[in-house]
Amino acid sequence: MTKYGILFSIFLIFLYGVSCTKYSVDNYHYIDTKALTIENIKTDLNIIHIKADSFLLDSMMRRPADTIEIDAQFSYYSQQKNIIKNKSIEIKIKGTSTVFYPLKSLKVKFKKKLNNLISPVLQVDEILPFHNLDMLKKISLRNSGNDFYGTFIKDISFTDMAIQLGLDLELSYHQPVHVFLNSSYYGLLNIRTEKDDNSLGKLLNVDNDDVNILKISHAGDEQEILEFGSGDEQVIDGLIEAVRSGNSEFLLENIDLNCFADYIIFEDLIGNSDWPYNNVELYNVGPNGKFRFFLYDLDFAASNDKHFVNESSYNGFLKQLYDVLKSDAGFLDILITRQLEIYNAAAPELFESIVDKNASRIENEIPYNMSKYSVPRDNIAWYYEIERLLEQYETRHRNFGKHYKLR
């Protein structure tokens, strides 16, 4: 059997296995993306049009590794109605290794904050309690990160599962859109809310000057860098010192234990292999607020089905904090109780329904990316990646239950 025949057979199995999804086996029809305009694109999605100086924009795109930020204008169309016209923004390329992808992620900063109630740019199905999307200052237009050559929906699907589980943490909301740059079709991207002090201030409805942030990013070979993000550096230094010295009294008083439990358990459950020495952000509000955690960058989740927090060789900041808190009987009870609750609620059937919703939302839109970037290669390749993601999570969920004796 040919390679195409094998993929086709896998796809047929997928059709029978995912009963709630009705995908068409027909290959996509090539679209001349050079001829696309905001007026003639056939889409159910909203459209963003960004205009900038052509020379500056080209220069930024040619040097994505540099930190270049340029002025631009932002327009937004919903059902072909122009609801925002030429709002002043600044844009830059966002990401690390993914900045070299043909479709690059962009960070958008509104020069004047955007009232998302009056001019709704971001509309989501569900929002966690105590979160607020009424005002926006910064958003990302994300290319799906390291899932760009895969499903396009892995990161947002795991985020949606965290929302449906009602986890007690902060995260990034999303919405798919088509983007044009200087009237030329750019690609299919996801609006994502940001996680800096200004964005957290808007999300939590607090003064962003009161938000103190600590970030952990990788330095290669599973080594990490602790970075002061914003706010009062003395507050962050106090936390670091307490973790390094194993000050359990301070940590039990100043860490939001329910948030930390949900955060650790969920990252462990989904098997995020680009964590915890990377993609970690914790914050508090004011000098005495409890430290909480922000869930993000889940595009490496479910790729390692035998990686578990309690037996990891990682011995960095988050592991030290985890070990100190686990020595407290009260926190250990929270951890054990929440682990079983989250495991039972986060069934593969729930994840399948979320993936199907996100895939169906862009099924008729992804051919634009296929035509412009040859990513995915075709419909069957995309369906295969979706099925592979569902199988990975099912395996991960099963192994997690066995490992922690939850089954």
Amino acid in position 8: F
Q: Distance between the two ends of the chain, CA-based, in angstroms?
A: 39
Residue 371, classified by CB atoms within 10 Å of its CB into exposed (0-12), middle (13-18) or buried (19+), is middle
Q: Which has the higher per-residue pLDDT, 313 or 392?
A: 392
Residue 6's pLDDT is 46
**Local confidence band at 221 (pLDDT 50, 70, 90 cut-offs):** confident
Segment 155-172 shows an average pLDDT of 98
**Local confidence band at 305 (pLDDT 50, 70, 90 cut-offs):** low
pLDDT digit string (tens) for 263-289?
999 999 999 999 999 999 999 999 999
Alpha helices per DSSP H over 271-328: 317-326
Q: Which of 77, 140, 133, 85 is nearest to 108 (CA)?
A: 140
Q: What is the mean pLDDT of the chain?
A: 92
Give me the residue label for tokens 């895969």.
150
d(CA 390, CA 224): 30
Residue 18's pLDDT is 46
pLDDT digit string (tens) for 21-75?
444 555 557 899 999 999 999 999 999 999 999 999 999 999 988 889 999 999 9
pLDDT at 215 over 90: yes
Segment 356-377 shows an average pLDDT of 95
Query: Which residues in 28-124 belong to E strands, given as ranges?
Result: 46-51, 69-78, 81-94, 105-115
